[in-house]
Amino acid sequence: MPKNKGKGGKNRSRAKSDRDGKRELHFKNVDEGQEYAQVLKMLGGPWLEAYCFDGQKRLCHICGKMGRKVRIAVGDIVLISLRGFQDNKADVIDKYMPDEVRALKTAGELPETVKLNETEEGGEDNFEFGSGGEEEESAEEEDSDKEDDIDDI
C-alpha cells in the first residue's frame, strides 16, 4: 500500500476552497417560519437557548451539517426555523458572521439594540478603566511643573 504523503483528502481541499469566497447573505423567509435570534446559552450537545427577535426565548437544535462545520458561541446571531407543532422549540439553520450582522442591521432586518459579539473576529475591545487613576496624576504633575517654573523666575 502507498503511504499518505499529503495532509487530508478531498474534504480538506473542499473546505479550503470554501474559505476564500464570500457567501451570499440569507434573509429570513416569514412564509417558511424563519426568525432571527441571538444565542443566550449553550446547553450541551446540539442544543442551545436563544432569544428570538419576536420576543420569545426558545430551545434550539443545531442541525447535523451545521454542528460539524460551524462553531456557535454565546452572543452569535443565528437564523432559526420555527416548528409548527412546538412553539417553544426551533432549529438553527444558519449562523451570521459579524460583517453579515452589520449588513442585516443596515438593511433594517435586525433591531438597532442588537449587540455584536466580535471578540473572536478581531473586533474592537471596549475596555473601561477605573476613574481617576492616570489622568489625575498627569494633571498634578503638570501643575507641579508650572509651580517650579514660577519659583525659577
Could you give the percent of the chain with pLDDT greater than 70?
Answer: 63
pTM: 0.62
pLDDT digits (tens, 9 = 90+) for 85-138: 988 999 999 898 888 888 888 888 888 777 776 544 444 445 555 655 555 555
pLDDT of residue 147: 63
Mean pLDDT of the chain: 76
Distance, C-alpha 137 to centroid of its chain: 38
User: Whose grid coordinates read 451570499?
Assistant: 24
* Higher per-residue confidence, 65 vs 119: 65
* Higher per-residue confidence, 139 vs 130: 130
pLDDT of 70 above 70? yes
Query: What is the DSSP code (8-state) at residue 8?
Result: S
Q: Which long-range contacts (CB under 8 A, 24 or more apart) does 100-105 make?
A: 100/25, 101/77, 103/25, 104/25, 104/27, 104/36, 104/77
pLDDT of residue 25: 79
Could you give the percent of the chain with pLDDT greater than 90?
Answer: 20
Instruction: Please compute the mean of the pLDDT values over residues 8-15 and round it to a whole number.
Output: 65
Which grid cell is 74? 454565546
Instruction: Please compute the mean of the pLDDT values over residues 58-66 and round it to a whole number.
Output: 87
Task: To the nearest 10°, report the CA torsion of 113, 117, 123, 124.
Answer: 60
